[in-house]
Amino acid sequence: MEATELRTLVEVEDRHWWYRERRSLLAKELRRLPAPGAALDIGAAGGGNTRVLRSFGWKPLALEYAPTAALIARERGLNVIRADARELPVRSGSMDLVTAFDILEHIEEDYLAAAEICRVLRHGGTALIAVPADMALWSAHDEAVDHVRRYDREGLTALILKGGLIIEDMWSWNVLLRPVVKLRRKSSSGSDLDDINPVINTGLRAVITAERYLPVKSLPGVSLFVRARRP
């Protein structure tokens, strides 16, 4: 992702409906886990999710490849290292939790990153992974943010299992707004990450929040989430 895109992300993520609800999903998953311990946030960008981990009592290490993002995370007072997700500079079995939100789709050899996630987790440790779903949604947005692919359930399942993890749950997210996203991206010429109008932002947040209470997780969405563990 370009430095300008990263700067934009950091500027808007605290109020943008998409990032706010994704942090809510992370918080929900953290509540189901046992007592907090060591956590690795791969592809932390400016550290939005890392801050959520810290607020729940975890001891998070933010890992970021891009120098601009790593600098921003450090400016926010986070513990950050720069590294490649395909070769994590982390001791095997040292992490109780690994998060990797919208990271694997940027990596050509995504299977190496999946194996590294498994390696650094302790036995019984949890991985929370999110990826963009469905190549039918491929657009100029994906190209602008340097995606290599989008995933379907079969492909993501095969990847996680190949990495050595056991899948506990997989679900779709951003289901209700998928038609809107598909329509917008058909006519887009670049990334759709921007500082959205506050009224529209509030409306979209209301829609995405409604998904928490509706039986839509098995339907096609814009993203796929996985909770997995190291056996």
Rg (CA), the chain: 17
In a 13 Å sphere around the CA of 226, the CA atoms on its Cβ side amount to 31
3-state secondary structure of 228: strand
Q: What's residue 6's pLDDT?
A: 63
Q: What's residue 1's pLDDT?
A: 53
User: In this structure, which amino acid lies at residue 80?
Assistant: V
3-state secondary structure of 229: strand
Phi, psi angle pair for 123, to nearest 5°: -65, 125
Which CATH number is 211's domain given? 3.40.50.150
Q: How many Å apart are CA 2 and CA 4, to the nearest integer?
A: 5
Tally the residues of the chain. Answer: 231
CA dihedral 126, 129, 134, 137 (to 10 degrees): 160
For 6-25, letters b (16+ CB in 10 Å) and e give: bebbbebbeebbbbbbbbeb
Q: What's residue 229's pLDDT?
A: 98
**Total number of domains in the chain:** 1
Phi, psi angle pair for 16, to nearest 5°: -70, 135
Q: What's residue 66's pLDDT?
A: 86
Provide the whole-model pTM.
Answer: 0.92
The DSSP bridge partners found for residue 42 are 63, 100
3-state secondary structure of 3: helix
The residues, ordered by sequence, that sit 6+ positions from 69 with a Cβ below 8 Å of its Cβ are 1, 6, 10, 44, 45, 46
Question: In tens digits, what is the pLDDT along the chain, a chain of 231 residues?
Answer: 555 666 666 667 778 899 899 999 999 999 999 899 999 999 998 899 999 999 999 999 999 998 888 888 898 899 999 999 999 999 999 999 999 999 999 999 999 999 999 999 999 999 999 999 999 999 998 998 899 999 999 999 999 999 999 999 999 999 999 998 888 887 766 666 666 788 998 999 999 999 999 999 999 999 999 999 999
Query: 125 lies in which domain range?
Result: 3-229
Q: What's residue 198's pLDDT?
A: 87
